[in-house]
Each structure stands twice: as C-alpha cells, then as structure tokens.
Structure 1
Amino acid sequence: MAKVAFLGLGVMGYPMAGHLAKKGHSVTVYNRTAAKAERWAGEHGGAFAKTPAEAAQGQEIVFCCVGNDNDLREVTIGASGAFQAMGKGTVFVDHTTASANVARELDAAARAAGFGFIDAPVSGGQAGAENGVLTVMCGGDDAVFQRVEPVIMSFARACRLLGPTGSGQLAKMMNQICIAGLVQGLAEAVAFGQRAGMDIEAVIDVISKGAAGSWQMENRYKTMNQGKYDFGFAVDWMRKDLSICLDEARSNGALLPATAMIDQFYAEVQRMGGGRWDTSSLLARLNQTK
C-alpha cells in the first residue's frame, strides 16, 4: 500500500480518490473548495490538506485531476504548489486532460527537483471514474511508470505507457478526435431516422451489432432519442479538449477538418444554452428546426 495525495476532487477526481482509499492506500486530498475535501475525508476516512504542498508532504505518489493547463500549473509550480514539497524519488501522476507542452514543462521541473512525472489522462467519463474502470493513457519513463501502474489500477481497467512524456496527452487527443466524429455520426443517423419515421430503438439494436457499433451508440442513443442530455461529458469540457487537439494539430501539421467542423457545431450548442449538456447534444443542434 502506498502513501498518496490526490489534488482536485471534481466529478472525476472525487471517485478516483475514493477508489484509492477503498484499495487500502493512505490518501490525503486537496481541493480548491476546502469543504469538498473535508467531506471526502469524512466519507472515506482519509485526510485533507489546505494547500497542494501540504497534501504532497511526505507522500510517495501525488495524483492530480484538475481543469486545464493553468489550473495544473497552479497546483504544481504555483505559490503553494505540490512540487515544493515533493521529495526525491517520489512521483507526480497527472490525470488532467491538458496539453502535451505543459506535460513536458512539468516533467522538466520534476526531473530538476529529483522526482518523477507521468502524464496520464483518462477516458471513461464520470461513470468510469465512479465504477473504477477508467482507461489511462500514460507518457513518461518506463521505470517510473512501473512504480505507479499498480496504484493507478485502483481506479482503472486498462493502463498503458505509450511513449515519452506528453504521449499520454497526445493519445487522449486522438481519443477525443475519434469521439467527436462518432458522436456527430450517431447524431446525424438518429436525426435522419427520426425524420424518416423509423423505430430508432429497433434500428440501433440491429446496427449496433454490425460495423457501425460503438460505445457511443450503445450508451447514448436512447437518451439522445428522448432528447435528454444530462449524462456524461459536458459540451464545455469537450470544446476545451478539442481546442487542445486543434492547437496541437497546428503545431505538428496534422489536418483535422472534421474535428474543426464538429468543434464549431459544439459552439452552436453552447449558444443554444447547452454548454453543460452532454456531448450527445449534437442531436439537439440538428433538431432545432425540426
């Protein structure tokens, strides 16, 4: 069992930290809203800290899952950041969906201070976090990864090192590019079927077992067909992720025409007031003139 800290108790971090405690690890948590950290500690029997540095003090591994690059810098190299308190030979594992550049920046800072860094964004959404079945995509040194993988598996069903620092974030970008296309295709198919008078449930039951099948189809078509968008990953978050993908593409020369178009479709959903709807709300955009 390890002594660990977890920074950031949002919809993902709260249950992820909970699974670490359930597996018997000694967990100290930090959250910008202190009351949430105190509540977590009351539920799971761990400790809570007032600053990231305080949470990181004396820990073997510090996990993190915050909002974006700037939030990540604040809890790591900021005035009361965790990097101030991390000892030599410890490891910082970042589950934030962020840029590959900030992963490389923080890895360099960690190396200079004598501890390890793994960028480890996750896929599986809130349900995956709550059920402890996330997919974790990692970048960093193999020796460091081998030390933290067993602990990561407390809340994951798959965890793999995909290359040097930044590779986890690049893999997450690929994941989000795929999801954007899948959801748009599913939204168009459902909208088409609705206007054609088809029995959507019957059709999806058939085509989901063929070449068109996907996780999105199996898990989102029913609520999409009902016009309900209160499940899973929010449009605001998806636009943040797609902006990271598009920025990286501008840097490496990759062409992402469909991703750029779908990003603008999500911007339309935001203008409709759907920033907190889940990503399947692309259907609402197609049906707004129905």
Structure 2
Amino acid sequence: MTAQQQTNPRSYAPTTARKVAFIGLGVMGWPMAGHLALAGHTVTVFNRTAQKAQDWAAAFAATGRVAHAATPRQAAQGADIVFTCVGNDDDLRSVVLGGDGALAGMRSGSVLVDHTTASAEVARQLAANAQAQGAAFIDAPVSGGQAGAQNGQLTVMCGGDPAAFEAVAPAIDSFARAVTLMGPSGSGQLTKMVNQICIAGLVQGLSEAIAFGQKAGLDMQAALQVIGKGAAQSWQLDNRGGTMVRDEFNFGFAVDWMRKDLGLVLQEAQRNGARLPVTALVDQFYADVQAQGGGRWDTSSLITRLR
C-alpha cells in the first residue's frame, strides 16, 4: 500500500450499519471509503481504473464487509447511501448519469452524497435528477486534505434536504470531525468556495511574510514560532510555514487542484457579481507556479515565485 492509500484507524461512534457504495478511490476517496468499512458499514467500491478497486477491496478484506463492482450502477444497486469523490463536474456526471451511472442503480429512498469539489450548478442538476427517481442528493465537499482523509478528520460542508442530511450524517462521521448542513442544494459547494478564497489569500500572505523575513535576515523558523502564538496564527502557518522555509512542496493539496477550485470560484463570482480581486490575482500566481513545473506541488509553493 502506498502512502497515498493509507487509512489510519480511529475511534468510531456507534452507528447503524448501512450498505453503501463509494465511487472514486483517489487520494481522498481511498481512505474515506476505508473509514466507512472500518466503522462497520458494508462497502462496495467502483473506480475507473478497475485494479485500484480490486486493490482497495483486498486491503480492507479483513473487515468482511467489502466488495468491488464493474460499473457505478452495479456498485449502487441495493445501497442505502452512494458516495462519490471524483475530479470535476464532467467526471461527476460520467459516474452518476447514463445507463451505467450510479443513479441508474439507486433505489427509491436512497441518498447520493457527492464529496467532489464541483460547481453549485452541477449539484443542483444532480439533486433534480435524483429527486426525479425518488432518491435524494447531498453536495458535500470536504476540507482537510489528504491527511484529514487518512485520519478521518475532514470538515464536510453540505447542501440539500434536511431529512436526507440527517439520514447520511452518521455515516459521514466515519471520516469527519465536523459535518454541517449549510442550506439547500449547492450550499455545500458554495461554502467550499468560501473556504478556498480564504486559503488562497492566507497562503499568499504567508509566502510574502516568509520571503520578507528571509530577505531581512531573520531566523524564520523562530519567527514563525513567535507570530504563531499571536494574531497571525492559522492552520497554514502551523502546518505549512516550516516546510515553506525549507522549500518542501512534494506533498499536500496540489496546485493543479487549487487552480481547478479557484476556476469554480471565479466562475461563480462572475455569475453572482461578487468582487474577488485578490483571489483572481492569486489564481494567476498559481498559474506561474504551474508554468515552472509545479502543478503537482503543494499549494504552499506560491513562495517559489518570490525567491
């Protein structure tokens, strides 16, 4: 098992065991599905690369509650809850809609929960598709990155019907530290956009601060420890400040993924009239990092532009 495929067991609150499907076993999906199995749920997985689904089922075979399927439809058949975690809007539509899509296999009364960071528009579309066949849809993007997924400590922001949310929240708790309903369909995705706006500004500010301190001749590891005890403290400072000083970026949330997310943010801002000058600027800074070959570097690699 690679480092990206690790799931670190945790204490799971007692809950009713459910039959679930999990579609998409990437950096986030693999450990999230693993936590569901370890928490006592019966889990059938699908991945577009079939070998990865087979590998996941083998890795969690000891739970006695796992299987893999050849299509999203087959994975979803008989499931109480179907989870998806894929790349973007088009990927999501490809595994949910159509004859082999998850919705084609879902029964009336089941719930589709999407953890993809996608547009609010596709969330509303899929909510309507699910409702048309008697199912429900919850858009549920996550924050916490690879480590949060592996440790079962994600923050999950949800949009959808309150009754459907209450039905799935105990299962989501298997891999989350906080699960919150933010409003109707699309509200989870909009909240994730707020999250990414905050992160973009924080990382750029931290990059400038570290670059400035280094030019001034400060011991920046010591400086970060000092300011981390005051008003400048943040998750980014605590978890990325030291690695930025050491030029370590081969981990974490990739620049390519952040640019995808900020593209969704800027598209939504164009629709609703919000003004995001700093976010638009940082998005272009991330384009510079991509141009220098850093598309898979952690988002904290913004500092490389200032060296």
Which interval holds the TM-score relative to the shorter structure?
over 0.9
Cross-structure match for 1:29: 45
Normalising by structure 1, we get a TM-score of 0.98
Q: Cα deviation per residue 1:98-138 (whole Å; 9 max; x = unaligned)?
A: 00000000000000010010000000000000000000000
Alignment match of 2:78 (pick from 52, 55, 58): 58
Q: Cα deviation per residue 1:176-232 (whole Å; 9 max; x = unaligned)?
A: 000000000000000001111101011110101111110000000111101110121
Cross-structure match for 2:146: 126
> What is the correspondence of 1:190-201 to structure 2 with a 5 Å cutoff?
190-201=210-221
In structure 2, runs of 5+ residues without a counterpart are 1-16
The 3-state SS of whatever aligns with 1:153 is helix
**Which runs of at least 4 in structure 1 moved beyond 6 Å after TM superposition?**
none
How many Å apart are 1:285 and its aligned residue? Answer: 1.0
The 3-state SS of whatever aligns with 1:102 is helix
How many Å apart are 1:78 and its aligned residue? Answer: 3.0
Supply the distance in 1 between the matched residues of 2:151 and 2:141 (Cα, whole angstroms): 17
* Matched letter for residue 298 of structure 2: D
Alignment match of 1:102 (pick from 122, 128, 141): 122
* Matched letter for residue 71 of structure 2: T
Cross-structure match for 2:296: 276
Alignment match of 2:35 (pick from 12, 19, 26): 19
Overall identity of the aligned pairs, in %: 67
* Matched letter for residue 43 of structure 2: V
Cross-structure match for 1:5: 21
Normalising by structure 2, we get a TM-score of 0.93
> What is the correspondence of 1:49-198 to structure 2 with a 5 Å cutoff?
49-198=69-218
Supply the distance in 2 between the matched residues of 1:20 and 1:264 (Cα, whole angstroms): 38
> What is the correspondence of 1:255-270 to structure 2 with a 5 Å cutoff?
255-270=275-290
The 3-state SS of whatever aligns with 1:146 is helix
Supply the distance in 2 between the matched residues of 1:91 and 1:118 (Cα, whole angstroms): 7
Supply the distance in 2 between the matched residues of 1:186 and 1:78 (Cα, whole angstroms): 45
Cross-structure match for 2:7: none
**Residue 285 of structure 1 pairs with residue 305 of structure 2:** yes
Supply the distance in 2 between the matched residues of 1:231 and 1:217 (Cα, whole angstroms): 16
* Matched letter for residue 51 of structure 1: T
How many Å apart are 1:263 and its aligned residue? Answer: 0.1
* Matched letter for residue 69 of structure 2: A
Supply the distance in 2 between the matched residues of 1:7 and 1:81 (Cα, whole angstroms): 10
Supply the distance in 2 between the matched residues of 1:19 and 1:235 (Cα, whole angstroms): 27
Q: Cα deviation per residue 1:59-102 (whole Å; 9 max; x = unaligned)?
A: 00000100000000000013410000100000000000000000
After superposition, the CA RMSD in angstroms is: 0.5
How many Å apart are 1:146 and its aligned residue? Answer: 0.3
* Matched letter for residue 160 of structure 1: T
Greater CA drift, 200-209 or 62-71:
200-209
The 3-state SS of whatever aligns with 2:258 is helix
Supply the distance in 1 between the matched residues of 2:100 and 2:192 (Cα, whole angstroms): 28
* Matched letter for residue 9 of structure 1: L
